[in-house]
Each structure stands twice: as structure tokens, then as C-alpha cells.
Structure 1
């Protein structure tokens, strides 16, 4: 056991206290993440919405997420990540109590849009906060620590949510709202004293990118489009997979919650170790592309085997794909940005996921309604291959460009110092 314990100690070592406290905030917040994983099931079984109406509501949630990500990124550069995170957590928590009382489709659509907009203002602000509190050499591990906390919370939330849903769906909304507000209060009490903290600036000025708008950075825009394709496939986890578990395998809400919690548990246990072992040894292009191929395989397996046990194998592969891809996508975004435009870059990066929230549920449910689940899983498998190839090429070009710029700036710095 000693080598294993030492491995974990090395993987978690060297991270700042602020990074740990930020992760604790996200753990509190995500431990109450019960509504969204069960929203599709809630709308169809509790409120009697049709499959297309449910897909439309989930897509509206994604539309709000797009607007919230853009607004959050813009506000982060204007007023700072502290204020944006505090408002998002506390106001977003209160909105769950309002959503609990909505029944009519139009009111539900409006409520879901506003909730999503406020909640997803958190994403670019949180990412900018993590990057500012982390040492340059620990950025990927700082993001992984934050994701580890999110996934531990996500393993708790759906598991508890499945049990609460068996009693009454109203407890999902109450628990989600209460934990969001609790996370906001804890965040305020700790991080208000950290406002004088100065972000870590690399000693080597060659590591600081030139100021550029992400909307004029063509390579980064291509990267964002590929991230959105990845997220469109991955987010079947939250939209159509629960419906598949319920309608095809007749799993109960409790069993669905436990199965989805397995994703968070696997990521919690393995991500920091994988990032520590592979982060500096394998290229980001290879890791991200490999994650995409693993994701496609997780869905294709559902068509090849019909046993309930294959659901757990599929979830394992999906979780490994998340570990290989997501942390390094965040790092690539940080490396592409500078201190003055990090909010904008993180905002555009999170918009890629938010846009997938629009497309993914509606596209998934429409394919299911027209052709069935098996067609959807084959389509996911094919799309991951195309996206993996795109990622490999684009990330390789971005890394080449970054290293070339660093070499030029380093040579210029040496020339200035000698003169």
C-alpha cells in the first residue's frame, strides 16, 4: 500500500490552499446536483411531458447555459471572478425553489432558461479563479482537483437524488437549492479575505500569450467547435442515457442514480493519478483524441451487448474518456489566454459546452423518437472518430504555434539581456 499512498501524495502535493478551498466549494455545490440529472425523467413521468417537449426544455436549458457562459466570461474580466461566483451560487440556489412550483410548459421553459443562465455564469469565473490561484506548473492538476471535487459531489448528488425522487421530486429541488446557497455562503466567508491575492505570473515572460480576443483566434475557435462536438456526445449521459436506462432496461430511479454516481466515483478516484502520471509524458493531442475514441466505444457497446452488466462497463469507459480529455482541454485554454483576457477565453470555452446543452438533448431525443436508441449510439460512435481526428490535428497545431512563439520571445529576451 505504501507505493500507492505515495503516488496519491505526489499527485495531490504542491497545490495551493486556495485551490483546495475552491474545490471544497464545488464539492458542497455539486453534492446537491440532483435536479438536472433527473430533469428529463421528472418532466416525462411527473409532469407528463412528451419526449419532444422534454427535449425542448433540456435544449432551452442549454440555451441559457450559452448566454450564462458568455455573460459570466464578460463579467469576470469586468468585475472579477469573486463577485460573479458569489452571485451565481446564491441567486441560482434560490431559483430552484421557484422552479419547483412551475408546471405549464411556457413557465417551465422560462424558469429553466433563467436558472441555467445564472448557474452557468459560474463556469468561466470559476475557471479563471482556479487558474489565478494555481502555479503555472500545477494548472492541469488544479483543474483536476476541482473536477475531482465536482465528480465526488456528482457521485453523491444523483445517488441521494434517486432515493429522494422515490419519495417526492420536490426534495430534489429543495436539496439542490439549499446546497447552492450553502456553497455560496461558504465561498463568500473564505474568499472575501483572499481578494488581495495576486495571481501567479510566470517568471518567464515567454509563457505569457499576447493579448488577443478569443473570437479572432481561429485555431482556438476550431478547438471550441471540437469541444462542443465532444460535449454533444458526452452530454447524452445527462439526457438520453437516463431515458435509456428507464425505458429499455426498466431500471428504477434509485438504480439510475447509483449507475450515474459511478461516473463521478471513478473520476474522483482516478483523475488526479492519471493526470499526474501522464500529464507531462504524453502529448495533449494524443490524450484528448484517445478520450474521444473511448467515449465512442462506451456508447457502441450498448448496441453490441444487451445485458444490464454492460451498462457498468459502458459507464467505466465513459468515465475514463472524461479523465483523458477534459482536464487537458481546460489547460489548453489557460495556456492560450493571458491575465487580461482569461475570462473571455474561459467564457468561449464554456460556451462550447453550453451550446452542446442546446443541441445534445434535442438531437438525441429526436433521433430516439424517429429511429430508436441503437441509431443514436451508432451515430455517437461515428462522430467520436471524426472529432478525435480533428482534435489531434488542431491541438498539435496550437501546441506548435505556442512553442514557436515562446522560442521567439525567449530569444528576444536573451538578446535584450546581452545588450
Structure 2
């Protein structure tokens, strides 16, 4: 039997991919926010932590609002509103003088940045055929990390001209991203088919519709467990390396393993995972992330922490694109925005709750106890994915062996 013809990803996807890369390559504010507030502005570390929490709180609100607007208003206007708002609020942060104004702008920035994410996810699902979505999500995730690497390398040089420069360039790249969307990406929201006797009009979707979808909400809950573990690389990992006597430079080396591996291995690993059953891929990713927590708890040298980072990153590479591809697999076309919004919400909630609860656990029981909890979360998530997909798989998963999606 001859091989099926190779399918090209549509042009619209590549413009969406380019806008993601541009936006992420200019993301300077959040990685340098703590330094800006403590070193440049003289605020305490506690105050800086509150500002980060306000950003996460805004993200929770933005993900819900963005999901609803994506379905009601459309993908394109929601993305443009979020990106234009984010550019304005980012620029405002660079010149804000009073703490109350900084707090307000941080919350607004969280809202606008997160409100565009459900729209981008829904647009990707609209324009990419179902069988090609796992690869498309993998490429998009690769662009996010490639852009972050460019941002990290260039931010230091830009900061020599002053922290305000970072805010100005960040706002400019966000505007460029909005310009790409405005010029190159048309609206993709599916039109509602006219109601007939045989095919009555689809029921109007609401956030309650998503919350009543038990299967999808189980997927969101399992993702939240994994996100809680993901967040520890910014919370528990620095403390563990310090307790082991590693310097800040050595911690930077451990952190760099993640970015280097994703940029170099993401597309290669996807060639393998995209033809595997989703629950096996998701379960394997969750187990790898959980295993990395065990390694972090027992590590006491730079080499062992780097080994843990390798295992963690393999789990991330395997898990994230496959998890993102499940959302359009479960969502009705007319409610993709809301479904994407709720999934983005799980990331925002995890980013908000994990640092708060982790600090309590570490203060009371130590970092080893926190890593043990993370291991349990990873195992529970893996078992949950097997149980969730046991009865039937989403239509974007379990592709037949003869189906191939090319790498251009």
C-alpha cells in the first residue's frame, strides 16, 4: 500500500507561529520584574512577590474573559485587544512611579496577556486539520521556548541601557505581534450552520457548559497537578540547589539545561510522540516530571541536579504539546474559546497557588517533603490520564499507523 501524501501545515498557522515567536522573543518584563522592583526601585522582595501574585491573579481573570470573548466576539479581535492592551500596560509599567499604579498595571497586564491565549489556541485549532494538531502545538511550543531563549540572551545587553529600555522594547514587539495578526490572520471562528429539522441549532455555549463537561474538567484537573510540579523549578529548585551548596552560577547552569534541551530536542521527540496514544504520552510525561522531583530531593552535586533537569525537561517536552492538543479534541467547535480559556486557567491557578502553598510546606517540613508531594502529584496524574482515556480516546488521538504528518 502506498504512503499517503504528506500534508502541509496551512499558511495561516505559520503566521500565527511567527507572531508567537516575535511576542516571546521580546518578553523582557516578567523575567526581570523582581530585579527591577528590588534593585532599580528599592522595593522589598515581599513587595515584588505581591506584584508577581497580582499578575497571576490578573491571568486568572484574563483566561476566563478571553475564553468567552473568543467564542462571542471572535478570535482575531480578542487577540488584538489583548496584545494592544498588553503593549500599553507594559509601557506604562516602565514609567509608573507609585506602587499603587504598578500594582494596577501588573494586574491589567496579567489580564491582557492571558486573554489572548485562548484565542490563539482556538485559532490554531480552527486552521490546522485535526491529524496535524499535535505537531502544530509542538511547533508552537518550540517557538515559545526559542523566543524565550532569544529574550534571555538579549535582555542583559538591553538592560545596560536601563530597565526602561526593556519595557519599551517589550511593548514594541507586542505591537509588532498585533500588527502581524491584523495584516495576516483573518477571523477563523466557525460560522453557525442554519438550524434544520434534522440538525437543530447547537445549544448556546457558556462557561457553565464547559464546567459541566466532566471528562474535560478531569483533564483540566490532571493538568493542574502537573502544573503544580512544573512551577517548582522557580520555587523549590533554587532553594534545593542553595541547600546543597551550589552557587548562583551553578543554579543558572541547571536552569539552562531546560531551554537548551527544548530548543534542540522538541521537534525530534514530537516525531515519535505524535503517532502514539495520547494517554500513554501524557502518562509518561507526568511520570518523568514526578521522577525528576525524586532526583531533585536526592541530588547534592551540580551533575545530579543537571540529571534531574534532563529528566524533567524530557517530561515537559513529551507532555505539554500533547496536553494542548487534547483541548480542541474535546471541545465543540462553537465553544473552543471557552474550553481553551479553562485550560489556560489551570496554568494560571497553578502559577498562583503553587508558590504560596510551596512556601508553607517548605517552612514547615523542608524541601524534601515538597519534592515528595510533587512525586505523588506526578504519579496521580499519570494514573488519572490512563483512567480518563480508558473508555474512549478523543478524536485527535490514537492516529492510525499509516497516517503521517510531515516535517517540512
Deviation at 1:143, TM superposition (A): 1.2
Q: Is the contact between residue 126 and residue 189 of structure 2 (CA under 8 Å) also seen in structure 1? A: no
Which residue does the alignment assign to 1:216?
212
Partner of 2:404: none
Q: Residues 18-167 of structure 1 correspond to what in structure 2 (within 5 A)? A: 18-43=12-37, 46-47=40-41, 52-102=46-96, 105-165=99-159
Contact 1:61/1:357 (<8 A) preserved: no
2:274 aligned residue: 279
The CA deviation at 1:91 is 1.9
What is the 5 A alignment of 1:13-412?
14-43=8-37, 46-47=40-41, 52-102=46-96, 105-165=99-159, 168-191=162-185, 194-195=186-187, 213-239=209-235, 241=237, 249-252=246-249, 260=255, 262-280=257-275, 282-397=276-391, 399=393
* 2:123/2:189 contact within 8 Å kept: no
Deviations 1:54-111 (A, max 9, x none): 4433332222111101111111111111111122122202211222344655443322
Matches of 2:39 and 2:239, distance apart in 1: 11
| 1:337-392 CA distance string (max 9 Å, x none) | 12111111111111111111211222234444555444433332232222222232
User: Are the aligned partners of 2:222 and 2:385 in contact in 1 as well (CA < 8 Å)?
Assistant: yes
Alpha-carbon shift at residue 22 of structure 1 (Å): 0.7
Q: Aligned equivalents of 1:62 and 1:156: distance in 2? A: 24
Contact 2:240 2:296 in 1 (8 A): no
Q: By how many angstroms is 1:119 displaced?
A: 0.4
Q: Using a 3 Å threshold, how does the CA distance of structure 1 residues 163 and 236 change in structure 2: closer, same or farther? A: farther
Going from structure 1 to structure 2, the CA distance change for 1:375 and 1:160 (only over 3 Å counts) comes to farther
Q: Cα RMSD over matched residues?
A: 3.1
Counterpart Cα distance in 1 of 2:188 and 2:342? 27
Aligned length: 378
In the alignment, is the contact (CA less than 8 A) between 1:263 and 1:316 conserved in 2? Answer: yes
TM-score (norm 1): 0.80
TM-score by structure 2 length? Answer: 0.82
